[in-house]
Structure 1
Amino acid sequence: MTPMRTLYVDMNGFFASVEQQMDPRLRGKPVAITAVETESGACVAASYEAKAFGVTTGTRIYEARQLCPGIIFRPSRHRLYVRFNQRIAAVIDEIAELKYVRSIDEFQVALGGTTSELDAAFDLARRIKVAIRERVGSELRCSIGIGPNPLLAKIAGKLEKPDGLQWLGPENMPKAIADLQLNDLPGISRGIRNRLWDARIYNTTDLYRLDPRHARMIWNSVEGERFVRALQGMDIKIQPTERNGYGNSKVLAPQHRPPHKAKLVGRWLVEKAAERMRRDGFCARQFSLSVQLVERGRWGRGQKITATQDTRFLLSLYEGLWREMRRRCNGDVMSINVHLGDVILLIQRNGDLFGPLSPGMPNRPEALATVIDHINRRFGERVVRYGIHQDHPGFFERE
């Protein structure tokens, strides 16, 4: 029997189940979580009671009402879901080797020794399920997948929902995934699927039997070979992603959509992105701003800059791009995205022979920004700000 190396926990209907946990009146009822409180807005999550009526992520609110007349809508409370994520992670880590928190509702556990045997892995999975229900919330269910690598464990976790427990390995592949479509597999985008079709790979069985070297040619990357080898059961680790930028985006609550108010939310996004970038020791060489208007228009611009991690300078770029956007666009703002791209490590930045910039060292404004970061982290809030901005956490954060 192939040793099992990974156990993957996938929380079911996470946002909706947290709301049902917090409010017993919602239990057993169809619930949808919204990001935008208008009829044209979309559901960002749905309970399994709502999914039974065809309501899924992306369903418009007015469509959800038609599909499920008794549906109950709740605004997203992202910070609440983060707190539940942390509680679940703590519980898992007490009884297993929690290796990664993959997302707000997915957790990767390492298996080894006796737990690499399938029966022991199943026992561990059942213990995790019970611990989450008893110690975090009775309404929180999860599907767990077990496999010889993270890819197969993740796919196994999606085979049976809700509250499922499945495994995948060379012993039951590819038959166990024969009913899945190519784009049901994590990592198969529409573009990769179309490339596979062009190569006459039409289903998961064809993909499983593909020569990994051929997959490298189809993907035009070594990642294609890695993907197929993992699908075939080899212990292929998930590669750490290479950092190429820092971004923040926000769907605005209705009260923040007038341009003069939306602008302040954008300033807050720039501050947050710059702080994260400094924390990790990077500098940006490109700054981009994109805006989605309520009337379905979209505007975006980016510009190359000298490598920097100075919040004040980045905010001055933002102000300039915002003025340009306002000259060209009218109406309220639905969403804002700021991106600090083409990043390099600060220690890799060249100095300036004719300016006060030493190689690999922060300049005075950047050093000051780092001091401000330390003050804000110490006191747990933004006690020092770069002018006026508007906090807008979560989608619509409500306590």
Structure 2
Amino acid sequence: MGPFRTLYIDMNSFFASVEQQLNPAIRGQPVAITAMENEKGCCVAASYEAKAFGVKTGTSVPDARSLCPGIVFLPSRHRLYVRFNLRVAAVLDRYAELERIRSVDEFQIVLSGEATELDGARALVARLKSAVAAEVGVCLRFSAGIGPNHLLAKIAGKLEKPDGCQHLGPDNMPGRIADLALDDLPGISRSMRTRLEAAGVRDMVSLCRLDPRHARAIWRSVEGERFVRSLQGEPIPLVKTRRGGFGNSKVLAPEFRAPAEAYLVSRWLIEKAAARLRREARVAGSFALHLSPMGAPPWARSVRCAATQDTLEFMRMNRALWRRAWPYIRGRKLAAIGVHLGDVDFLTARTGDLLKPVAPGEMTAGERASVAADFINQRFGQGTIQFGINRPHPGFFERG
């Protein structure tokens, strides 16, 4: 058996490619996907034809139009992209062992048999590219990374775009990535790069040769040791993460930036987050509100509460935090807002309360009402039952 265990698939300009696949008239043209359908928005994705002009994720619509006068702007349709994600996943899983769907445009495959050798892995990549093109669409291309673990495979997948195939392994590490900056690697932020440099680790070769125990001290976590061991080619598996909370955030369109309108959007976000909490049979023991006034530092506060999944309880906490925020945000426009239900646990693990009274793992009357509202909304359409007045603000994740 050869040294390679993981194949990483990174779809190229996935959102724009899906749109080009569905509309042959825009194939070969620069295309940008926008979060909002006006000049205030920005690009959340761009085709390679647009990237050639300098348009990238985060480029504002006016700047993108200036960089590329002939660019085609299309509104994001996330549900559509999820459907294409599942179609690609189905094809990959027929030809190989699909281990994980890492994101809407990234997939992880387990290599075995002949594919653990470099030639066999490359032959598998060629088969997968042909199958995706034939069964999903010719515009759907991907770059592939081959490695002994998920981290090296993911890094390899970023080395040649679009439509590339690269590997990282004992024969070319660390020299193959020696020209990368530390924070070019997934999982290393600017602050972590600063911490590494303070510890004398200033280039990729030094990082790859770092003692894993020293890495644990620099990271102040076992994740540092896991990261460096992965860079050194050890078969370190992904750790299943524990969900820390349920949240929703929204970059506000101009008509929702006044505090009174933004407050109603926050109520809509709470309804969505609480419904997700109940779908997983969980309760939350804290609530947080994040507000980003335009031209001012953000404001954020949280409150702890008895563990609950009652939407109206979260609404009451939200109203109290908005009152606390009012002196700071009065007269300002808000660029973004967010809500977060934290300190989650399973409903079945909740202790009882003699004062309510509620037995261990039992729902309160308010929680049962919330579940009933979920059932009606699922049966007759979202918004059939609302928890008071709100302002729906569908955007990137709600379209399609």
- TM-score computed with the length of structure 2 as normaliser: 0.91
Equivalent in the alignment of 2:335: 334
Which has the larger displacement, 213-222 or 13-22?
13-22
TM-superposed deviation, 1:193: 0.8
Look up the match of 1:184.
184
**How far apart are residue 373 of structure 1 and its match?**
3.0
Greater mean deviation of Cα atoms: 259-268 or 389-398: 389-398
Query: Are the counterparts in 2 of residues 310 and 369 from structure 1 also a CA contact under 8 Å?
Result: yes
Tell me, yes or no, if structure 1 residue 372 matches structure 2 residue 376: no
Displacement of 1:380:
6.0
Contact 1:4 1:149 in 2 (8 A): yes
Question: After superposition, what is the alpha-carbon deviation per residue over 1:314-369, rounded to whole angstroms, capped at 9, x for unaligned?
Answer: 12222333344455423544322110112233233222233312223322322332
Which runs of 5 or more residues in structure 2 are unaligned?
none
Deviates more, 1:160-169 or 1:80-89: 80-89
Relative to structure 2, which stretch is displaced further, 222-231 or 275-284? Answer: 275-284
In structure 2, distance between residues paired with 1:110 and 1:328: 52
Q: What's 1:87 paired with?
A: 87
Residue pair 1:36, 1:251 contacting (<8 A) in 2 also: no
- Note the C-alpha offset of 1:378: 5.0
| In the alignment, structure 1 residue 315 sits paired with structure 2 residue 315 | yes
Between 1:256-265 and 1:57-66, the stretch displaced more is 256-265
CA distance in 1: counterparts of 2:247 and 2:16, whole angstroms? 26
| 1:96 to partner: Cα distance | 1.8
Shift of 1:56: 1.6
Tell me if the contact between 2:289 and 2:338 (Cα under 8 Å) persists in the aligned partners: yes
Question: What is the SS of the residue equivalent to 1:207?
Answer: helix
Counterpart CA distance in 2 for 1:322 and 1:300 is: 10
Letter in 2 for 1:29: Q
Give the aligned residue type for 1:291.
L
Query: 1:105-124 maps to which residues of 2 (within 5 A)?
Result: 105-124=105-124
1:398 shift after superposition: 5.9
- 5 Å matches for 1:47-62? 47-62=47-62
Q: Deviations over 1:117-155 (max 9, x none)?
A: 332222222222122222222212111111111101101
The 1:123–1:245 alpha-carbon spacing in structure 2 relative to 1, beyond 3 Å, is same
Q: What do the CA deviations read for 1:131-183 (whole angstroms, capped 9, x no partner)?
A: 22222222121111111111011011001000011111122211111121111
- 8 Å Cα contact 1:143/1:161 also seen in 2: yes
The SS at the match of 1:176 is helix
- Could you state the TM-score of these two structures normalised by the residue count of structure 1? 0.92
Where structure 1 has 5 or more consecutive residues not aligned to the other structure, the ranges are none
Residues 243-282 of structure 1 correspond to what in structure 2 (within 5 A)? 243-282=243-282
Partner of 1:266: helix, strand, or coil? helix
1:39 to partner: Cα distance: 4.3
On the 8 A contact 2:20/2:26 being kept in 1, the answer is yes
AA in 1 matched with 2:168 = L
RMSD across aligned C-alpha pairs, in angstroms? 2.3
1:305 is matched with 305
Counterpart of 1:363 in structure 2 is: 364
190-199 or 282-291, larger mean C-alpha shift = 282-291
Amino acid at match of 2:250: K
Query: 1:225 Cα shift?
Result: 0.6
Q: Are the aligned partners of 2:78 and 2:399 in contact in 1 as well (CA < 8 Å)?
A: no
